[in-house]
Amino acid sequence: MPPVLESLFEFLFKYKPFVFARGEVVLAATAGSMVAAGLLLALAVPIVRQYRAIGGRSTPRSRLALAVLRAAVVALGCFVLLRPSLVVATAVPQQNFVGVLVDDSRSMRVAEGGAQTRAEQVSAWLDPGGSGLFGQLEERFRLRLFSFSDATRRLEGLEELRFEGLRTNVGRALEAGRQELGGVPLSGLVLLSDGADNDSSGLTETLNGLRDAKVPVFVVGVGREEFARDIEITRVEAPNEVMQNSAVAADVVVRQRGYEGETVELLVEDGGRIVSTVEVTLPRAGESTVVRATFVAEDPGPRILTFRIEVAEGEMVRQNNALETLVTVRDEQARILYFEGEPRHEVAFIRRALHEDGNIALATLVRSAPNKFQSLIVDPVEEFGGEHELFGGFPKTREELYRYSALVLGSVEADFFTRDQLQMIADFVSQRGGGLLALGGRHAFAEGGYAGTPVAEALPVVIEAPRPAAEPWYAEVDVVPTLFGRSHPVVQFGASAEESAARWETMPPLLAVNRVTRIKPGAASLLDGNAEGLEEAQAVLAYQRYGAGKSIALTVADTWQWQMHGDVPLEDMTHETFWQQMLRWLVADVSGQVRARLGRERFAPGETVAVLTDVFDDTYLAVNDAQVRALVTGPDGEVEALDLAWTVDVDGRYAASFVAEADGFYTVSVVAEGREGPLGQDVATGQATELTQEFFGAEMNRELLTRVAEETSGRFYTAANLDELAGDIAFTDGGTTVTEVLDLWDMPIFFFVFIGMIGTEWTLRKWRRLA
């Protein structure tokens, strides 16, 4: 209830809504008052009946209204004579305990607008020598002080507060306070916090427990709900792992107050080196804007990327202008199978584009004639037990296909494959988590008879029924990025978005022989193709997530024109750049049979870090009986061995943990073995460092704090009404209490209602000229 309405309620009804909510309304009439009420009720009958004989300008309706008003006055008088009262339980002074929990995290250091910090404000409220909150509570209760951030600890005095906590968990703090005071008569808990809860796991369970135990929480909100002037990088969404030399896109969420419409510069730094710069026009106050920054991940290993906006004049919080994220750049080789149904230039030029790329191993299989194939292998023969990698043509089993991270399908008709192979290709994406790229060609998409097949279901475009053979369709289309595609790294050909857009305007047209205009719900289009006479644009490049993997459709047939067209300079690298970026994107996020990760990629020194690993067999079914071991290498080179155990609740998932004692990078190497031999290995990386997350979203979180109070039958306070807390907490059901009966018969509301009804009756009588 707003403070104004709450004050009005207290004026009219003597007590605050909170007190009414804690008590029960009863009638405390004595024998004398009951007799008086009975006499008044008996006199009401003749008084009301006299209106039946009134003449003048009265009507039956007006006489009824007068009778009802007179009866209501008598009824109100009878009710007051019966002495309505409020029965409440109140705490016995100095017989009950109150736990005071103080937020000791770093966000309490915020000084809003040059005023005192939140920490200084709380310290003043809890000054034992003053007349503030601490003194008011100490008059009625025995106090126990606690500090909390990522952990909760008992305080002997306020001088132990440091306001250095790196993370806040309100739920864990409340549960710790309840457990600590579970053996004493407890009237309630007092929570002083800004509500910047960035680790809210378990809060719902804690609040349910407090409500069941009848322990109310009286919450004091600290700080402003809205900063007057502040720019904050709220969130950065970037891939956790990328292949070396991949184009990386990071979505940066920026929010502001007080700087609407101004232009600032977002800098992306890798080890102090600026790798990207983006101009940002700040949105309206309180709103967020998403900025996409693109850059190339050149240096292998764990990289700390800093996304930063210079501090503007007058900002209230400076620490939230920069946000760091960990991206691991892997110098490894991804295996891709490219199957082409007919000899064509596209094969040679794609392989040429990847000739010196050590991170992409492209195994190519080309059907040169019916049942004849030309293959270019990648791996040594012994890797597959002495058999040629593509000896029998296209893989016939899941084990063979799932050895690859991605599959490129060229101009090959659906009838070439068996029904099981078509399903296997779809499962390769959805179950194995691989990447699928379908290229345009005479025997691709609808022209290849893929409509209605499992492969068509996996692709991001809608495949229509094939055209009659006598009516082939083709068009030379000018390829342009869509609005969404302009910021996607796979179609970036310049150091800036403007340079890339200028390059696209000069690109030669490409040939499309498959009419594709519609993409599926949930898919995204990156490139469109336009040509004279086309009513709808050709969907040239589109993608979607499909199950655990990703599928891409590139519906043109001759990207090699970007290398060999007469308008393209000999030294131009657009074609090479496009395919290197395309295939890196195709295998991005594709994992092997063992997938290791840490519960958090960045954590505080001394924190316990979870190691989670998913394990699959060679058909990518979860394995629950594997032996999974990990070696944790710390920043000082020391190695700790871990045995991971199956978590039971998730098939194929294993877990263990370690303590990150020192600052620096931690490398976790995981190896899994099944009954029949090794299943695979993986590496996860994390960093122990001083965290700054307490300064993000640092405005007072009224919604969370109010929820804590309401769900435990407590109350929420700010500095404006803090003086009411000590009096409110006395009305409690917990601890040692006595029952008090509070008079309600003399509430001002009764007087105003009585005067209102008498005045209304008098006005109506005068209007109708009644005696």
CATH number reported for the structural domain that contains residue 239 in this entry: 2.60.40.10
Question: Domain count of the chain?
Answer: 5
664 domain-assigned: yes
Which run of H or of E encompasses 632?
strand 627-633
384 belongs to a structural domain: yes
Please give the pLDDT value at position 58.
62
In 3-state terms the chain splits into helix, strand, coil percentages (rounded to 5) of 30, 35, 35
User: What's the one-letter identity of residue 362?
Assistant: L
In this structure, are 207 and 251 located in the same domain? no
Over its C-alpha atoms, the chain yields an Rg (Å, rounded) of 37
Token duo for residue 766: 């005068």
- Inter-CA distances, 18 with 5, 6, 23, 88, 421, Å: 13, 9, 9, 11, 69
pLDDT, position 465: 82
At 197 the pLDDT is: 64
Specify whether 607 is located in the same domain as 531. Answer: no
Q: Are residues 514 and 642 located together in one domain of the fold?
A: no
**34 within a domain of the structure (yes/no):** yes
Tokens of residue 45, six digits = 């009958």
- Can you tell me the distance from the alpha carbon of 582 to that of 574, in angstroms, rounded to the nearest whole number? 12
**Confidence at residue 495, expressed as pLDDT on a 0 to 100 scale:** 72
Please name the residue that has the structure tokens 């499962």. 427
The full 3-state SS of 166-207, as one line of letters, equals CCCCHHHHHHHHHHHCCCCCEEEEEEEECCCCCCCCCHHHHH
Report the distance separating Cα 308 and Cα 377, nearest Å: 45
* Cα 441 from Cα 634, distance rounded (Å): 52
Q: Which amino acid is at 160?
A: E
Whole-number pLDDT of residue 372: 87
Which pair of tokens denotes residue 42?
Answer: 């008996």
- CATH code of 486's domain: 3.40.50.880
Which positions of the chain have pLDDT values less than 50?
379-387
In angstroms, the CA 664 to CA 606 distance is 12
Dihedral (CA of 258, 263, 268, 269) sign: negative
Is residue 694 domain-resident?
A: no
Report pLDDT for 768.
Answer: 66
Tell me if 222 sits within 8 A of 192, measured CB to CB. yes
How far apart are alpha carbons 730 and 203 in whole angstroms?
A: 26
Give per-residue pLDDT as tens, 137-156.
988 899 999 999 888 999 98
Q: At what angle do helices 345-353 and 574-587 cross, to 10 degrees?
A: 80
Mapping DSSP onto H, E and C, the string for 482-525 reads: CCCHHHCHHHCCCCCHHHHHHHHHCCCCEEECCCCCCECCCCEE
Instruction: Report how far residue 337's alpha carbon sits from residue 409's, in angstroms, rounded to the nearest whole number.
Output: 9
pLDDT at res. 769: 66
- Across the beta sheet with 510-512, the strand order is 372-376, 360-369, 334-340, 406-409, 435-439, 549-554, 538-546, 524-530, 475-481, 510-512
Q: Which domain holds residue 651?
A: 594-688
Residues 442 and 501 in one domain: yes
Paired with 546 in beta bridges are 549
CB atoms within 10 A of CB 149: 25
- Positive or negative, the CA dihedral 702, 707, 708, 709 is positive
Are 102 and 245 part of one and the same domain? no
Which CATH number do you get for residue 126?
3.40.50.410
Structure token digits, residue 3: 């403070």
Residues 447 and 489 in one domain: yes
On whether the CB atoms of residues 509 and 479 are closer than 8 A, the answer is: yes
Same domain, 613 and 599: yes
Cβ atoms of 441 and 559 within 8 Å: the answer is: no
Whether residues 645 and 755 share a domain: the answer is no
For residues 549 and 486, state if they share a domain.
yes
The answer to whether residue 693 is domain-embedded is no
Q: Are residues 194 and 237 in the same domain?
A: no
Answer with the one of 688, 720, 752 that is the final residue of a domain.
Answer: 688
Helix or strand (DSSP H, E) at 671:
strand 664-674
pLDDT tens-place string over residues 393-413: 899 999 999 999 999 999 999
What is the reported pLDDT for 452? 94
Q: Do residue 351 and residue 255 come from a single domain?
A: no
Q: Are residues 248 and 287 in the same domain?
A: yes
